[in-house]
Amino acid sequence: MYWVRRCSHQARLNNGLLDRHQGLWQRISRPDENEAVYAYLIGYADQPQGYIIFSQHQNQDGSSIRLRDWTVLTTAAAQTLWSFLANHRSQIKYVRWRGSANDSLTLLLPEQTAKQKSAKRWMLRVINVSTALEKRGYSPGIQAELHLEIQDDLLAENNGRFILSVANGRGEVTSGGKGEMKLDIKGLAPLYTGLFTPQQLQLAGQLDATETAMSAATQIFAGASPWMADFF
């Protein structure tokens, strides 16, 4: 499916986007009662740059477009998305979409008129430290090693020292190491997602680390602020 391939490509460039189950795709594409869902490709069939899936709504606040899903992979695609939406301005008063709290799409607007209606933080709990760190994606240009010491009062197998070795976009975890970055399982979650930097977590008292470990963690977990387009 084209939408799946493009969304997967965007997910590799952002922290937090889901590998969607078919049920989530059906929720996006299936219209609610008395509404229609529209989908458009951005770019050419042999060189796609993104897509937009949306529906139109009418309520007491006026007419609106709700972006049910979208992907933009180039500057031209982002400009096309806004141009497409702007062409509805004679009939549509609002556009609503789910995005990052610091959404780079808004930088293309002539004025910063976009307003955040609501924000919800995830509840994330790492169940298996080794598996979670190995399955997480990393920047392909980073080669680093981080020595962790994790404390978990609930799951005993998560306690101990772990070495995270990152190279070519993949992570490998082995037991042992120097334990140069000490944190409990609650502090690991925002580090893992990229929600807060190691420096911010250290200032908040969520971890204790050597300069070497702080430098390695900053490289390994660098990236855009995490966000998720799906709600479930």
Q: Which pLDDT score, from 0 to 100, does residue 7 have?
A: 57
Q: What is the mean pLDDT of residues 78-97?
A: 94
Name the more confident of 188 and 227: 188
Segment 100-108 long-range contacts (CB within 8 Å, at least 24 positions apart): 100/14, 100/224, 100/225, 100/226, 100/227, 101/225, 101/227, 102/225, 105/72, 105/78, 105/81, 108/78, 108/79, 108/82
Strands (E), the chain: 37-44, 47-59, 62-72, 94-96, 144-151, 160-167, 170-175, 181-184, 207-209
Name the more confident of 210 and 16: 210
pLDDT at 224 over 70: yes
Q: Which pLDDT score, from 0 to 100, does residue 5 have?
A: 55
pLDDT at 124 over 60: yes
Residue spans per domain, the chain: 2-108, 129-220
Characterize the bridge pairing of strands 160-167 and 170-175.
antiparallel
pLDDT at 140 over 70: yes
Q: What is the mean pLDDT of residues 175-183?
A: 97
C-beta separation of 159 from 152 below 8 A = yes
Strand, coil or helix: what is 43? strand
Of the listed ranges 48-52, 130-134, 156-160, 216-220, the one predicted with least confidence: 48-52
Record: fold of 2-108: Aminopeptidase (3.40.630)
Most confident of 42-46, 71-75, 115-119, 143-147: 143-147
Query: Among residues of the chain, what percentage have pLDDT more than 90?
Result: 63
Q: Which residues contact 91 (CB under 8 A, 6 or more apart)?
A: 63
Name the pLDDT band for 168 (thresholds 50, 70, 90): very high
Cβ-based neighbour number of residue 28 at 10 Å: 16
What mean pLDDT, rounded, does the chain reach?
90
CATH 3.40.50.10540, domain 129-220, yes or no:
no
**CA–CA separation, 94 vs 218, rounded Å?**
39
Among candidates 166, 108, 170, 113, which has minimal Cα distance to 137? 170
Q: Which pLDDT score, from 0 to 100, does residue 117 have?
A: 87
Name the pLDDT band for 45 (thresholds 50, 70, 90): confident
pLDDT at 211 over 70: yes
End-to-end CA distance of the chain: 22
Whole-angstrom CA distances from 157 to 50, 126, 223 are 42, 12, 29
Q: Which pLDDT score, from 0 to 100, does residue 51 have?
A: 93
Q: Which pLDDT score, from 0 to 100, does residue 171 have?
A: 97
Q: Which pLDDT score, from 0 to 100, does residue 46 have?
A: 84
Burial letters 87-114, b for 16+ CB under 10 A, else e: eeeeebeebebbbbeeeeeeeeeeeeee
- 1-11 pLDDT, tens digit per residue, is 555 555 566 76
Q: What is the mean pLDDT of residues 200-229?
A: 94
pLDDT at 95 over 90: yes
